[in-house]
Amino acid sequence: MSEDEVHIRYEPFREIVIMERNLFSTADDLARFASIIAGGKTAGLYWAEGVAFLYFPLTATTEISTKELIENKRVYWTFVGYALLPKYQRIIETKEKIMVPVIDMSSNPMFRKVANWLKEQQ
């Protein structure tokens, strides 16, 4: 196959299965959680549709999870933490002076769908 014969196609996930979720009362609490979970290292959050969130994907290391990903376009997120954050902020600074970056993912249809689904779960 030569370089001229390379084909590129887009195949988005068909389904995201969220196994556990937690609504934090404030974006500060979510930022604090993200920092603790990362062991004090810099951790980031995603933002779309007025929701800040982080997620932990189940890695595709088993035959079953690989099959789900490849054949069914299904991924599993073992945990999603989220908080309402109506207006995007590049950084959330907690009262303990923890600085947590927030990435604006509103250009991504999948992240927008996840954010809207999370808002409905309140």
Which pLDDT belongs to residue 62? 74
Given a cut of 80, whether residue 64 has pLDDT beyond it is no
Which pLDDT belongs to residue 38? 64
Cβ–Cβ < 8 Å for 104, 48: yes
Q: Which two tokens stand for residue 14?
A: 């068909």
Residues whose CB falls within 8 Å of the CB of residue 4, separated by 6 or more in sequence, listed in order: none
What is this structure's pTM? 0.86
Residue in the block written with tokens 């595709």: 60
Comparing 94 with 37, the larger pLDDT belongs to: 94
